[in-house]
Structure 1
Amino acid sequence: MTNTTTRLPLTDGLEARLPELEALYRDLHRHPELAFQERRTAAVIAAELRAQGWDTTEHVGGTGVVGVLRSGDGPVVLLRADMDGLPVREATGLPYASTDTAVDPDGEEVPVMHACGHDMHVTCLLGATGQLAAHRDAWRGTVVALFQPAEENGEGAAAMAADGFLDRFPRPEVCLGQHVGPLPVGVAVTRPGPVMSASDSFRVRLFGRGGHGSSPEHTVDPVVLAAAVVMRLQTVVSREIGANQSAVVTVGSIHAGTRQNVIPDEAELKVNIRTTDARVRGRVLSAVERIIRAEAAASGAPKDPEITPLTALPLTVNDAQATERAVAGLRSALGDAAVLPLPWPLAGSEDFGNFGTAFGVPSVFWHFGGADPELFGEDGIAALMSGELPAGLPTNHSPYYAPVPGPTIDRGVRAMLGAAAQWVGTDRLPPAR
């Protein structure tokens, strides 16, 4: 539902601002920071918000930043961007590529990269806040701009919500968020209901009895045990989950031993599980634990495995009515043909949904394109909607991933403004030129 009594020029002047926004993006990309270490990023955001005229609060939930801007009476809308990077060594070869390092929670020095596009999210939201501040006479209500730390470890949204958020800031009527991805620039996809998977991660310690590599008969080899667990876990999805259901089980890390001729005492695995249904999630979690413990028993392990939860990200669910309104705004901003229905929930995960759950309000999340449209060819959109990507196109979390800056920023700002205007605006935004 859109109030069409007045046309709001929320995107007026955006083209003139794109060079400074692109410079901001390049700076953020060059200087990524890990979860809850986003101090430089937060300082840049806070300074920009204050310069635009927003009431700005830092250190929310750790390193989070919240800006509030009011323009008369009306709805309260929350716009969210996440801002942490990943422990990935960048291989894009870009002139503004990151060479930064940081110390991770395990005390290890690691390379850091914005391999998931959070620098783009911050830039687009700051672009939107600048437009809202410049055109306060063209909208009514209150906008809460939320810059979240620690999305990658799944803790940032909950930390901000728990930091007295509703006592310190206006309660939103809706939470809106977006994520850049390997889609053509100008395209956005979303759906009502489940839009991104739940994610559960665990650290598994498997115990053996070490000894000399020449005498395995005197040991319980945790390396062989770990290999058996890894292989058997591959049967969870293929043999215990129906073809009409969805689940992913990944062992992303395995460590054991230090020398080729020494059988170690233990091995460590890190396991990640993705599901889109609560009942399937329960079955998968149960099967994974059953297999780990059974393989340890079959190997004669002297001690039961230790299974320690690492992160848990909820199923991201879009409210149906709010999604209908947001899609109308996206179409007004990007064009009808550019906004496509997501055919199924994505296997990736997000903690964005924690805001709507904590505040008791609907939320909507969409994905927008950051890749050169020419890479997709004439039938690219049809292939995209069937789950195919152009060969060799880097995806999020790849060391080669980086959106095309200029047009992506423009469309990302327009998308956020278009969706927000469905609540605080009095007319639809003009379409992108």
Structure 2
Amino acid sequence: MTIDLEALYTDLHRHPELSFQETRTAGVIAKHLTEMGIQFEEGIGKTGIASIIRNGEGPVVWLRADMDALPVPEQTGLDYASTARGTDPAGLDVPVMHACGHDMHVTALLGALERLVNTKDEWSGTIVAVFQPAEEYGAGSQAMIADGVLDRFPKPDIVLGQHVTPLPAGTIGVRSGTQMAASDGLTVTLLGRGGHGSRPHSTIDPVVMAAATVMRLQTIVSREVNPKDVAVVTVGSIHAGLKNNIIPAEAKLELSLRYPDDEARARVMEKVERVVRAEADASGAEQAPVITVDHSLPPTINDVDATARLSAAFDRVLGQGTVMDPGMFTGSEDVSWFARDSGAPLVFWFWGGIDPAAYKAAEDAGTLERDIPTNHSPFFAPVIHPTLEIGVDALVTAAREFLA
């Protein structure tokens, strides 16, 4: 039986699920693995799946795809656009969309497994295919590891993964060394003293404290980080108050920090903490702010030798000039935990999902950032072809390059 990859992709796109809630998605994956005769285990790290293909002696190659979606209202206008809704960790009803392309990742991996199963006479070794939940929380890989995936399945000789991104369809972006930044997610709780909106002098206003903190945080990268270095400080969420005539007792900020290495992390974290505490002091806060690290992700570092070998294989199989160096991405990933905890090398690459003509037109006009939607945008949706075909070809090429 041959998988209809386009139908599979559009079905997954219509039915996105939030992190650690990917039960329908896992069911679709399990159905296809069963039809292909591939052994697998469900419910690893809550909703994850790991499958195994044993085919004689040889290396153990891990292939990974993530499968969760985002609380984003889809605005692509596609006839297979998502209208799904879900419940976020705070209990709020939210729109849900595959705004990061994880539906494409799942589809490409299933298509690659089908081809590898059908060509078992051409390779030998062991393939472990991991369908990981909750990448968007930076928690899914560690949840699977904590649930014993590295003990229940053969440990990898190499970990391979890919991510669809706003590059022209038909291209592969990969580089040796740091491919993606390290990151931390912080929640900052600023503690004031609430009261009536008509008597601000009797309060310590956390809304004003939050506003001052947000603005001062912007100076860390612009004034305290060397322009030659990479760092990002983003305040992605601010919550305070319930009514216009009540000054609340607290305000919460949610921050996303990015850096290339642990040394830069230490420097930026120190500066963020200093600014937060100083603004609280400047506001006369009677209680120190509370800073909580919600998640911490290491940099995604590609093995130098394995990356060179795979880049040559991509050019050989997919065509000379397919591979480009996209530079370091300031986005972050949790795929590297599989490699770090097992001691295996990692190669993680990007593949393009944007119509090449549209990309070229925007590039020529200097409007790439305006006209080409990026991951996490409500308008982000890869063109199905040739994105699907390249995604499958890349995974098959990568697996076979490291198998016997």
Instruction: Sort the TM-score into its range (normalised by shorter chain).
Output: over 0.9
Does 1:245 find its partner at 2:229?
yes
* Counterpart position of 1:422: 401
Counterparts of 1:123-162 in structure 2 under 5 Å? Answer: 123-162=107-146
Per-residue deviation, 1:142: 0.9
1:278 is matched with which residue: 253, 262, 265?
262
Unaligned runs of 5+ in 2: none
Corresponding residue to 2:314 among 320, 325, 330:
330
Given that 2:176 and 2:307 are in contact with CA atoms closer than 8 Å, whether structure 1 keeps it comes out as: yes
> What secondary structure sits across from 2:371 in the alignment?
coil
- Residue 328 of structure 2, aligned match among 345, 349, 374: 345
CA shift for structure 1 position 391? 3.5
Which residue does 1:431 correspond to in 2? none
Distance in 2, matches of 1:33 and 1:377, equals: 33
How far did 1:406 drift? 2.6
> Which of 299, 302, 305 is the aligned partner of 1:321?
305
* Percent of aligned positions that are identical: 55
Instruction: Note the alpha carbon deviations across 1:175-232, whole angstroms, 9 max, x for none.
Output: 0000001011110111111000111011111111122222211111111100010000
Query: What's the CA shift string for 1:146-169, capped at 9, x where partnerless?
Result: 100010000111111222223211
Task: Say which SS state the counterpart of residue 220 (structure 1) adopts.
Answer: coil
- Find 1:305's aligned residue among 247, 268, 289: 289
Task: Please state whether the residue corresponding to 1:337 is helix, strand or coil.
Answer: coil
Counterpart CA distance in 2 for 1:391 and 1:202 is: 29
Tell me the residue number matched to 2:21: 37
Q: 1:236 to 1:390 in 2, by over 3 A?
A: closer
Choose the corresponding residue for 1:226, options 197, 203, 210: 210
2:372 corresponds in structure 1 to 393
- Please tell me whether residue 370 in structure 1 is matched to residue 349 in structure 2: no
Following the alignment from structure 1 to structure 2, what is the Cα–Cα distance between the partners of residues 168 and 213? 59
2:162: which partner in 1? 178
Residue 209 (structure 2) pairs with residue 216 (structure 1): no
C-alpha distance in structure 2 between counterparts of 1:419 and 1:82, whole Å: 17
Higher deviation after alignment, 256-265 or 120-129: 256-265
Distance in 1 of aligned mates of 2:316 and 2:154: 27
- Measure, in 1, the Cα distance between the counterparts of 2:144 and 2:222: 38
Verify the 8 A CA contact 1:332 1:418 in the aligned structure 2: no
* 1:62 aligned partner: 46
Alignment check: 8 A CA contact 1:329 1:418 kept: yes
Alignment correspondent of 1:294: 278
Hey, which bits of structure 1, 4+ residues long, moved more than 2 A?
A: 376-381, 388-391
Matched AA of 1:24: L
After TM superposition, give the deviation of residue 128 of structure 1 in Å: 0.1
Q: Which moved more, 1:164-173 or 1:31-40?
A: 164-173
The Cα of 1:378 is off from its aligned counterpart by: 7.4
Aligned to 1:13: none
What is the match of residue 383 of structure 2? 404
Q: Tell me, yes or no, if the aligned pair for 1:121 and 1:179 is still in contact at 8 Å.
A: yes
Secondary structure of 2:396's counterpart equals helix
Q: Residue 336 of structure 1: SS of its match in structure 2? A: coil
Calculate the aligned-residue CA RMSD, in Å: 1.7
SS of the residue 2:378 aligns to? coil
Partner Cα separation in structure 2 for residue 47 and residue 305 of structure 1: 49
CA-CA distance at 1:85 after TM superposition: 0.3
Once the two structures are TM-superposed, the CA of residue 31 in structure 1 deviates from its matched residue by 0.5
How far has the Cα of 1:375 moved from its partner?
1.1
Paired with 1:423 and 1:257, the residues of 2 have a C-alpha distance of 55
Residue 38 of structure 2 is aligned to residue 51 of structure 1: no
Number of residue pairs the alignment of both structures matches: 404
8 Å CA contact retained: 1:326, 1:420: no
1:23-78 residue CA offsets vs partner (Å, 9 max, x unmatched): 00000000011111111101110110111121111111111111111222111100
8 Å Cα contact 1:375/1:390 also seen in 2: no
CA distance in 2, matches of 1:187, 1:153: 28
TM-score, length-normalised on structure 2?
0.97
Q: Which runs of 5+ in 1 are unaligned?
A: 1-15, 426-433
For 1:304 and 1:235, the matched residues in 2 are separated by: 22
1:428: which partner in 2?
none
Q: Please state how far the C-alpha of 1:17 moved relative to its aligned partner.
A: 5.3
Aligned partners of 2:312 and 2:362: how far apart in 1? 25
Instruction: Tell me the distance in 1 between the aligned counterparts of 2:213 and 2:361.
Output: 44
Structure-1 residue corresponding to 2:176: 192
Q: Is the 8 A contact 2:71 2:97 kept in 1?
A: yes
Given the superposition, is the C-alpha separation of residues 215 and 250 from structure 1 closer, same or farther in structure 2, using an over 3 Å criterion?
same
- Which range moves more in the overlay, 75-84 or 214-223? 214-223
Mapped partners of 2:369, 2:261: distance in 1: 29
The equivalent of 2:340 in structure 1 is 357
Contact 1:325 1:419 in 2 (8 A): no
**What is the aligned partner in structure 2 of residue 10 from structure 1?**
none
Match of 1:429 in 2: none
